[in-house]
Amino acid sequence: MKYTFRMICQFVLMAVLLASCASYKQNIMFKITDPSQATGLTAEAEKNYIIQKNDILKLKVFTNHGELIIDPDLKLLKEIPPQVANTRPDPDYLVDVNGVTKFPMIGELKLEGLTIRQAEAILQKEYDKFFTDSFVVLQYANKRVFVLGATGGQVIPLLNENMTLIEVLALSTGLNNESKAHNIRVIRGEQITVADLSTFEGYKKNNMIMQPGDIVYVEPIRRPASEALRDYGPAVSIITSLTTLIVVLISR
């Protein structure tokens, strides 16, 4: 009877482990079923981002060649009442589906296809019509990369125009012990590449310049047996208790 009980317990445990091996593979994202799908995104030369439709821009305009930005003695800031400085609006400016953005005073401008520097030059000329020696600062507000997988789900803003894969991973807390450094997938539009960062050669080859909207997926290391015992442990205990009770009742 003890032998029968032992066999039943082993059967239940094996069934749970086998089921877990299949279920724990279901949350792996962006699987590559066809190796030809993995087209390499070679490291790109550093370049300025081009303004595109649906971009959100931040605009700041200063006079006197941006004197207020420097203002080493803070004399100019002292002249601005605190209540005015704190209530000054900081609006966003959307590049619409036609590539046009509407700005205060100067109206609509077509900025699609321009770099930030080129757009700043155009805006500066327009604001020179209203201000003395205007100084324009234009920034992106919605350039970001999505990091998923072993590091958790995070949205990483692109702080500058030439951020690399390593920088993005570092901002997402880096790779932990549950990450596969040799299997990092970068999805860009309809292209996907598998980046191997486990070696220095892989780092040199795959540390690409990130682009807005890129998805970085760090495949997690799966340990089905230990995860199954953790998740199904209470169920196994209940089944074992019931099996013990049945065996005891039968043996009487």
Per-residue pLDDT tens over the stretch 97-106: 999 999 999 9
Per-residue pLDDT tens over the stretch 174-210: 888 888 888 899 998 888 888 888 899 988 888 999 9
* Topology of the domain comprising 31-46+143-221: Outer membrane lipoprotein wza fold like (3.10.560)
Listed residue (124, 136, 134) closest to 63, CA to CA:
134
Q: What tokens appear for 100 in the block?
A: 């046009």
At residue 186, the pLDDT reads 92
CA atoms within 13 A on the CB side of 139: 13
Per-residue pLDDT tens over the stretch 141-187: 888 899 998 878 889 988 887 889 999 999 988 888 888 888 899 99
At residue 44, the pLDDT reads 54
Amino acid at 215: I
Give the mean model confidence (pLDDT) for residues 235-241: 66
Whole-angstrom distance, CA of residue 88 vs CA of residue 125: 23
**Domain map (residue ranges) of the chain:** 1-25+223-252, 31-46+143-221, 56-140
Per-residue pLDDT tens over the stretch 26-75: 555 555 555 555 555 554 545 667 898 989 999 998 887 766 665 544 45
pTM of the model: 0.57
CATH (one of 3.40.190.10, 3.30.1950.10, 3.40.50.300, 1.10.357.10) for 56-140:
3.30.1950.10
CA distances from 61 to 39, 71, 134 (A): 43, 15, 7
Q: Which residues, in sequence order, are CB contacts of 233 under 8 Å at separation 6+? A: none
At residue 39, the pLDDT reads 57
Q: Which residues, in sequence order, are CB contacts of 173 under 8 Å at separation 6+? A: 151, 152, 154
